[in-house]
Amino acid sequence: MGVTVFSRSWRVAWGKIHTLASRLLTDVVWQDGEFAVISPSGQEIFRLSPTEDFVVVGDIWLTNQGELLGKLGLTTEEFGGDDLDLLGRLWERWGGECLQLLVGMFSLVIWERRQQRLWMIRDRVGAKTLYYTRHGAVQWIAPQLPSLSAYRSSELDLVALRDYLCCAFVPGERTLWQDVKEVRPGTAVLSPATEVYTYWQLQENISNQESLEWHGESLRGLLNQVVQEYLPTNQPVGVFLSGGLDSSCITALAAKFHSHPVHTYSMHFGAESPNELEFSSLVAQHCQTQHHILEITFGDMWNYLPQVMLHLDDPIGDPLTVPNLLLGKLAKNHVEVILNGEGGDPCFGGPKNQPMLINCLYGGVTNQDGLAAYLTSFKKCADDLPQLLKPDVYHAVVEEKSVFAPDLNAKMNYLNCLMGLNIKYKGADQILTKVNNLTSAVGLIGRSPLFDQRVVDLSMTIPPIYKLSGVEEKAVLKQAVRDILPPSIIHRPKSGMMVPVQLGFRKYWQQQARKMLLHKKSAIAPYFQQQVIQDWLNYRGDIWGRYGVKLWLLTSLEVWLQVHQG
């Protein structure tokens, strides 16, 4: 299980940096007193504003450059800079108010030299990530959590651990490391006081007067615009294509608008497991893409897990992480930009909301409160915590509030409330961070058109009945793209990409998993009851066939801790 060495990204040090050992300040590309920008790769990731009053550092990709230049009274020829330069000019003109104008993906640090103030900023939906340490004389900031490994303790945040077991990702500002926090989407954190400003949040604004056809046409117009903006210039583009509605519509739109080759990538898990190749191949043929199919073996799933976990900020227990990396490796042979269909379920009403809707209707019968039902709906380890966690760990977290609780009680339509939760947490903390990290790990640029902030905003104006109504799901998205996809794709029920982890642990990985998870010196040993894990490995009482998913969750955590604790 060899691991490729993690390539550390840029980072910023701020505070009493004169007290630091010299080894911590190598690769400094710019310094201003107690503020330093570090770039191990030598990449130019900072700019000074025209007056040199502001230093802009980070990752940024804006889709509305022309509009922003117009507000500054500049033409493209007069400007001649990049998005970091542009933000420097905007910040000089409007300060933090300019964040309302930005459309795109970014994680940024802005140093105001005269005021000696530091801003940490993340885009609206969380396509980019940003982390910072909370303690010590020097604050460290980086877009990737492993880049902060030299500046943090190894103490785990037990509440974050609890939440990971419930969701398969760590939601909210917590990370699995106790002294590192994450900047939340749509917020700016201002230091030295660590004040948090929310410059964007999801707002429900349902337009009930219009028909399904009207909303579908409105959505289609926006998707046409967004997909065209996301396409690369003068080069081929790739699309991860599962054969479901979401990835199929992105494929069709890319093929419609791109004048260069469109490559599509699908996967399967061999003859022992069902697949969706019939549908993905149908879409590829319909859209006349250059289609590539990858078989992922059970050996691949196990052997590449350390490399995947190395490139994830927090652990993600979704079994699709390894396939995402391997499909990205294949795509890198042909393209530089890869699109995906992520975001269709959270924005337009996927079927995973149905159990919560049923609980809302029949909660008096099930006697399960909304939060417990929501955590159970992930179908991970929420109901197992009293038995799985060691008593001292369980008692330390059982009374701690859930990050989901306030949003579950939001004053909006209940379906939109659930979808808002998925956008805010699962979107930002699992889906988009997975896309960002695993595509960049193989040298690709990953983009998610259905998670564009404008699409997300538009989704909150669509009546819930046009999203999920009974067994009809994503009616508005189907209406928007029905003219560019085969009817069998429009009308097929969503099945989801099922990774055969149940079969994997039963037939292929049990011995390795037993050795790893039950070892007395395993990284998870201080937190979990080994007897429960042993029962899962032996499939004792697996009535619902869920032990494979739970074992993958624990295995991902163990491997993540191994590759990041050393």
* Domain at 156, CATH number: 3.60.20.10
Dihedral of alpha carbons 185, 191, 193, 197, sign: negative
Q: Check whether residue 192 and residue 221 sit in a common domain.
A: no
> In this structure, is residue 207 part of a structural domain?
no
Q: Check whether residue 138 and residue 253 sit in a common domain.
A: no
542: left (phi over 0), alpha (psi -120 to 50) or beta: beta
> In this structure, is residue 463 part of a structural domain?
yes
Tell me which of 145, 169, 198 is where a domain ends. Answer: 198
Would you give the DSSP letter of residue 509?
A: S
Dihedral of alpha carbons 61, 63, 68, 73, sign: positive
Q: Check whether residue 48 and residue 166 sit in a common domain.
A: yes
> In this structure, is residue 399 part of a structural domain?
no
Listing DSSP states for 416-463 in one string gives: HHHHHHIIIIIIIIIIHHHHHHHHHHTT-EEE-GGG-HHHHHHHTTS-
Would you give the DSSP letter of residue 499?
A: -
Q: Check whether residue 139 and residue 255 sit in a common domain.
A: no
Q: Check whether residue 453 and residue 478 sit in a common domain.
A: yes
Residues of the chain with pLDDT under 70: 1-7, 351-368, 470-471, 494-497, 566
Tell me which of 431, 457, 491 is where a domain ends. Answer: 491
Dihedral of alpha carbons 142, 147, 153, 158, sign: positive
* pLDDT, tens only, 232-273: 999 999 999 999 999 999 999 999 999 999 999 999 999 999
Q: How many domains does the chain have?
A: 2
Q: Check whether residue 168 and residue 120 sit in a common domain.
A: yes
Q: Check whether residue 87 and residue 224 sit in a common domain.
A: no
Tokens matching residue 447: 């983009």
Would you give the DSSP letter of residue 177?
A: B
* Domain at 251, CATH number: 3.40.50.620
The C-alpha atoms of residue 42 and residue 49 are separated, in whole angstroms, by: 20
At residue 368, the pLDDT reads 65
> In this structure, is residue 377 part of a structural domain?
no
Q: Which residue has the tokens 């990409």?
A: 497
Q: Which domain holds residue 300?
A: 212-349+439-491
At residue 3, the pLDDT reads 47
Q: Check whether residue 27 and residue 136 sit in a common domain.
A: yes
At residue 44, the pLDDT reads 81
At residue 2, the pLDDT reads 43
CB 128 within 8 A of CB 366: no
> In this structure, is residue 243 part of a structural domain?
yes
Q: Check whether residue 302 and residue 172 sit in a common domain.
A: no
Residue 412: HSE in the Cβ half-sphere, 13 Å Cα cutoff: 21
Q: Which distant-in-sequence residues (6+ apart) come within 8 Å of 148 by Cβ?
A: 11, 131, 133, 140, 142, 177, 180
Would you give the DSSP letter of residue 174?
A: B
> In this structure, is residue 145 part of a structural domain?
yes
Tokens matching residue 19: 């007290």
Would you give the DSSP letter of residue 389?
A: B
Dihedral of alpha carbons 284, 285, 286, 287, sign: positive
> In this structure, is residue 121 part of a structural domain?
yes
The C-alpha atoms of residue 39 and residue 17 are separated, in whole angstroms, by: 16
> In this structure, is residue 427 part of a structural domain?
no
Q: Check whether residue 147 and residue 225 sit in a common domain.
A: no
Q: Check whether residue 185 and residue 257 sit in a common domain.
A: no
Q: Determine the angle formed by the axes of helices 245-257 and 277-287, rounding to 10 degrees.
A: 20
CB 185 within 8 A of CB 194: no
Q: Check whether residue 44 and residue 189 sit in a common domain.
A: yes
What backbone phi and psi angles, to 5 degrees, belong to 216?
-65, -40
